[in-house]
Amino acid sequence: MSGVKIGKYAIEKVVELERPFAHAQVFFPDLTDDMLAICQRELPPGRLTEDGFVNMSYHAFVVRTDRFTMLIDTCCGNHKNRAARPGFHQLDTKFICELAKAGVTPEQVDYVMCTHLHWDHVGWNTKLLDGRWVPTFPNAKYIVSRTEYEYWDAAYRRGDSSVHCTSFEDSILPVKKAEQIVVVEDDHEFNDGIVLEPCFGHSPGHVVINIASEGARGVVTGDVIHHPIQLRFPTMSTQADTDRDLARRTRTALIEKHADTGTVLLPAHFRTPTFGTIRGAKEGFEYVPVA
């Protein structure tokens, strides 16, 4: 478990899974052989496997002050039907135990924040209890941006066939039924220094979560940036991006905005070391770990 302080906010990473996901040139369709060789040579050990697969982490962030406990994105979840993603189908992980190691029980979570509603970011929103999906965090308000919610709600109602619609059914609608979903505007200011910022492209309503306190700044980037490859080559969109061109523009703007500022990045899928800052390099950008 690792963590950072951003002013008054104490932030810890709680890991559900760490594993290779896909070959880099499959996940990043525009990555050339030369680009991959550069990344193999320049990126720190552990970011890529020897045979070129991207190493990924699936984790949540716990954000705490003396006033509330917040969980940002909830990973994959247990017992979920993810047949379209065989490596994640019917998982049985120890995420709740890992959360307990961070000193948090499900009942203590006041807010669940969603950067977006893809299956690997909302899975622990719900748990299976007596054959029904119920909210895992019974006292929490689940905060979801309007554009993202309305897009997936419409897709589900149309009967679209996708793993994201499946997860909407088992990980979002039960929370809505329990009246724990709070749909907010895409630029909503949640609390002192915590502000949503639209960063569309990976998903239609993706937001990042800015955290500012006592002169320090951080940004929970969700899937705007999946892997350090995208810092070395910011134009690299993924096969998982809904709109690759928009995702490319959004990502590049976000990287340029935060480069050389000291802003701490909290990426959704970077393996340890996860927390870091962006520094401009002779070619592209590089990641400087801070924890």
51-77 pLDDT, tens digit each: 999 999 999 999 999 899 999 999 999
274-287 pLDDT, tens digit each: 999 999 998 999 99
Residues 281 and 38: beta-carbon distance below 8 Å = no
Where along the chain do its domains lie?
Answer: 2-289
Write down the pTM of the prediction. Answer: 0.96
The pLDDT tens digits along the chain (291 residues) read 589 999 999 999 999 999 999 999 999 999 999 999 999 999 999 999 999 999 999 999 999 998 999 999 999 999 999 999 999 999 999 999 999 999 999 999 999 999 999 999 999 999 999 999 999 999 999 999 999 999 999 999 999 989 999 999 999 999 999 999 999 999 999 888 999 999 999 999 999 999 999 999 999 999 999 999 999 999 999 999 999 999 999 999 999 999 999 999 999 999 999 999 999 998 999 999 997
Distance CA 204, CA 202 (A): 7
From 92, 55, 98, 90, select the one nearest 269 (Cα to Cα).
Answer: 55
> What CATH code would you report for 2-289?
3.60.15.10
CB neighbour list of residue 212: distance below 8 Å, 6 or more residues apart: 6, 7, 193, 194, 195, 218
Residues 202 and 190: beta-carbon distance below 8 Å = no
Strand order from edge to edge, sheet including 207-213: 189-191, 194-198, 207-213, 216-222, 264-267, 276-280, 285-289
